[in-house]
């Protein structure tokens, strides 16, 4: 289905998922202004938000199923498999966060119905980032996502730790956005355009690729993206922000927001700068190695479960950076698959954490899970699946995801980085397996923890779905792998320029 992106009708059709969410969010804001202090109304807003996300997911599925392609050069938006695949991941992450928040906000007595429109606006920004065909669109999407995420991190207004998290996130995020915008300006100065496909054609000329201005622009872009994906040494904000934010927000940021940053980075690197890989590939190689090493080693020293998962998220950013460092469409496909399974793992683990703890869950220790399997066997089983999948244990989708990244790295001649990934995964066993041992091999030290650890309503659905997805893709990943590889191939610079012919 060719779509002419030079016409208002074509742009409207291409932006259908984003338009659905925008109209939904504005409508919810009007309703909230009328019923702001009603806890029951807040719960209704949550369910309406869930309906809007499902409607946007249906719009993505319709465009993807109809084979929507650009009729000519993509101007601001891409229409390809990579956009639809990443949009699906973002929307599924937002759906899971919404379901978790509906029960969590009521339990923690957080009366803030604006939580849900903010989550929708953040999701719109993520969709724009994943489908951007222009650096300006990348920046607009990133800022829309980030501004909403800043407020979400501090949505627990009576909590000093939540306020600290929001302030740190805002200050460092604004600083990183300046780097990104300056990088875009330098790239424009070197190439005369901000369109990703036109940049690729310009960089293919050897004289442009060697210009110092282009190299400086790419370096600043990497700094901006490095902050958004919490890559070492730009990770300083992540542990404190993840620790202070409400747990559904932490899950949303650790999974979907991180995936959106990577989606934009992968598209920019593979579409705009494949012929300038000598400029950025080595830098990303070292970022990946440092992020895997630091994230895993610091996580070993954590006894608080939420902070351990925060550093685990940093380590997984390193794994995803390996897919970027590969600098091939196979790496892009590996990212898509791993982003899906990582979203399931992270959302499930934080859902269990929310059930175990109270008042922000920041004080939940690994030892608090002692003997949980005896009193809550299904919760313990689910947490075991999440820990083993994060570790990359065979039989889980996490193993398939890491295997896909490893094979793409080896095929691209990045064997050393693949070895670093394997060693980092071995180190991660030192903090994932103790969680499993505490639940199954230690007697309970506090019976009250097991008594209050109950998954109810939406949290139970999120955890059960995540477990099924991880186990199913662990033994039957073929279809998902095919879709991921196909979406990765759409990132070739010429793939989005086929005029009026479905790829």
Percent residues over pLDDT 70 in the chain: 95
> 104 and 356 in contact (C-beta within 8 Å)?
no
Give the Cα-Cα-Cα angle 282, 288, 293 (nearest 5 degrees): 130
Residues 6+ apart with CB under 8 A from 423: none
pLDDT tens digits for range 357-373? 776 667 788 888 888 88
> 386 and 348 in contact (C-beta within 8 Å)?
yes
Examine the pLDDT at 388 and tell me if it is beyond 50: yes
Among 207-216, 240-249, 379-388, which range has the highest average pLDDT? 379-388
Residues 6+ apart with CB under 8 A from 47: 102
Sign of CA dihedral 82, 222, 181, 166: positive
Residue range 334-350: mean pLDDT, rounded: 93
Mean pLDDT, rounded, of the chain:
87
pLDDT tens digits for range 407-439? 999 988 888 999 999 999 999 999 999 999 988
Q: How far is Cα 491 from Cα 334, in angstroms, rounded to an integer?
A: 12
Q: For residue 450, what pLDDT is reported?
A: 60
Reported pTM: 0.91
Q: For residue 7, what pLDDT is reported?
A: 79
pLDDT tens digits for range 118-149? 999 999 999 999 988 899 999 999 999 999 99
Q: For residue 446, what pLDDT is reported?
A: 65
Instruction: Write the CA distances from 215 to 96, 204, 218, 226, 447, integer angstroms.
Output: 39, 14, 5, 16, 58
Name the β-bridge partners of 304: 365
Among 85-89, 163-167, 372-376, which range has the highest average pLDDT? 85-89
Domain chopping of the chain, boundaries:
2-497
């Amino acid at each position: 289905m060719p779509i002419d992106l030079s016409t208002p009708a074509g742009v409207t059709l291409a932006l259908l998922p984003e338009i659905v969410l925008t109209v939904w969010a504005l409508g919810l804001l009007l309703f909230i202004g009328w019923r702001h202090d009603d806890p029951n109304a807040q719960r209704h807003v949550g369910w309406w938000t869930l309906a809007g996300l499902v409607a946007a997911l249906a719009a993505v599925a319709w465009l993807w199923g109809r084979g929507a392609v650009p009729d000519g050069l993509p101007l601001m938006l891409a229409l390809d498999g990579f956009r639809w695949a990443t949009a699906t991941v973002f929307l599924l992450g937002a759906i899971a966060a919404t379901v978790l928040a509906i029960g969590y906000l009521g339990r923690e007595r957080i009366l803030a119905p604006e939580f849900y429109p903010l989550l929708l606006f953040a999701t719109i920004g993520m969709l724009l980032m994943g489908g951007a065909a222009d650096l300006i669109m990348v920046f607009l999407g990133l800022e829309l996502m980030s501004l909403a995420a800043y407020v979400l991190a501090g949505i627990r207004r009576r909590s000093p730790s939540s306020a600290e998290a929001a302030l740190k996130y805002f200050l460092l995020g604004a600083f990183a956005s300046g780097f990104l915008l300056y990088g875009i300006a330098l790239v424009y100065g070197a190439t005369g355009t901000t369109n990703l496909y036109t940049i690729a054609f310009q960089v293919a000329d050897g004289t442009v690729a060697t210009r110092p201005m282009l190299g400086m622009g790419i370096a600043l872009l990497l700094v901006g993206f490095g902050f958004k994906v919490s890559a070492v040494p730009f990770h300083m904000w992540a542990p404190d922000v993840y620790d202070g934010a409400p747990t559904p927000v932490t899950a949303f940021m650790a999974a979907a927001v991180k995936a959106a940053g990577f989606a934009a980075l992968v598209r920019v690197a593979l579409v705009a700068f494949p012929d300038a890989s000598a400029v950025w590939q080595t830098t990303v190689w070292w970022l990946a190695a440092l992020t895997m090493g630091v994230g895993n080693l610091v996580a070993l020293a954590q006894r608080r479960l939420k902070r351990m998962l925060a550093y685990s998220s940093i380590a997984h950013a390193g794994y995803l950076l390996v897919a970027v460092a590969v600098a091939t469409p196979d790496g892009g496909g590996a990212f898509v698959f791993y982003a899906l399974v990582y979203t399931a793992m992270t959302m499930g683990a934080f859902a269990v954490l929310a059930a175990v703890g109270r008042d922000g869950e920041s004080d939940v220790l690994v030892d608090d899970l002692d003997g949980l399997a005896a009193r809550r066997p299904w919760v313990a089983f689910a947490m075991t699946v999440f820990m083993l999948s994060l570790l990359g244990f065979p039989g889980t989708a996490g193993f398939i995801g890491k295997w896909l990244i490893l094979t793409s790295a080896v095929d691209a001649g990045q064997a050393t980085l693949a070895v670093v990934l394997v060693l980092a995964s071995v180190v991660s066993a030192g903090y994932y397996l103790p969680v499993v041992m505490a639940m199954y091999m230690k007697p309970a030290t506090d019976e009250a923890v097991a008594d209050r650890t109950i998954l109810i309503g939406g949290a139970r659905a999120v955890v059960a779905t995540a477990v099924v997805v991880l186990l199913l893709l662990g033994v039957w990943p073929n279809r998902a792998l095919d879709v991921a590889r196909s979406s990765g191939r759409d990132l070739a610079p010429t793939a989005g320029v086929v005029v009026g012919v479905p790829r």
